[in-house]
Amino acid sequence: MKFLGVIPSRYQSTRFPGKPLVDIKGKSMVQRVYEQCLLCTDLDEVIVATDDQRIFDHVLSFGGKVMMTSADHINGTSRCAEVAQAQPGFEGIINIQGDEPFISPEQISDLIHCFDEPNTQIASMFKKIKKEEELFSPNVVKVVLNQQFEAMYFSRSPIPFIRNEQKENWLNAYNFYHHVGIYGFRNDFLMQLNQLTASSLELAESLEQLRWLENGFKIKMAETSFETIAIDTPEDLAKIL
């Protein structure tokens, strides 16, 4: 399979406007993400997808590949679908978060290898939760898996509920998993996902991937040990500078 890496990149952000262009030790965030992706030998091409002329011009300035996409996309998945339609010849599409400037190339490769299994439609990643504050934070998305390492459900709440056990002991009683938000798609399934309308579970939890599960699609999950550093706010940026 040939894999295309797509980095959705929006200038307008409620919590951090202009985030893709912020300077991180001499390079913009979007440039750092792009260059990390180039180090992944399992990606055949990498492209930034944006609806902002400033980001478009900036990516060109450092020699990157970029595509101007519609301003009407409500999420990165639909933006990836537009890019995939305009870039024929790729069987797999990897949606890479544009706010993780230190993403590991090995992590991307691990996700891609989920597609070594011919039945994989969609792939994502998980990491074991080790801290109580992660488990009970609504900003940390949790996932439960079946025995085939496919996602059964995602939630902002800690799942499953451990009955007859004090909450401070839950991490000792069960292995809880944090969903790592990088996605891979077979191209034909990505096009199907892009036609779906928002589902009741998605709206309840504000998690797009629940739309896919609710419509019967399967999400293969790969475990990762890499620590991801997402920059969601100016305060997050200050921590790494």
Q: Which residue has the tokens 């890496």?
A: 5
- Averaged in consecutive runs of 10 residues, what is the pLDDT profile of the chain (241 residues)? 96 81 93 97 97 96 96 91 95 94 95 97 97 94 97 98 96 96 96 95 96 98 87 76 68
pTM above 0.85, yes or no: yes
What pLDDT is attached to residue 118?
Answer: 95
Name the CATH topology of 3-240.
Spore Coat Polysaccharide Biosynthesis Protein SpsA; Chain A (3.90.550)
What pLDDT is attached to residue 52?
Answer: 94
Per DSSP, helices labelled H in the chain are 29-38, 53-61, 76-86, 105-112, 132-135, 170-173, 187-193, 200-205, 209-214, 234-240
Q: Which residue has the tokens 């990606």?
A: 43
What pLDDT is attached to residue 95?
Answer: 97
What pLDDT is attached to residue 227?
Answer: 76
Q: Could you tell me the residue ranges of all domains in the chain?
A: 3-240
What pLDDT is attached to residue 231?
Answer: 78
Q: What is the pLDDT of residues 30-80, one digit of tens each?
A: 999 999 999 999 999 999 999 999 999 999 999 999 999 998 898 889 999
Q: What is the pLDDT of residues 6-24, one digit of tens each?
A: 999 988 776 778 889 999 9
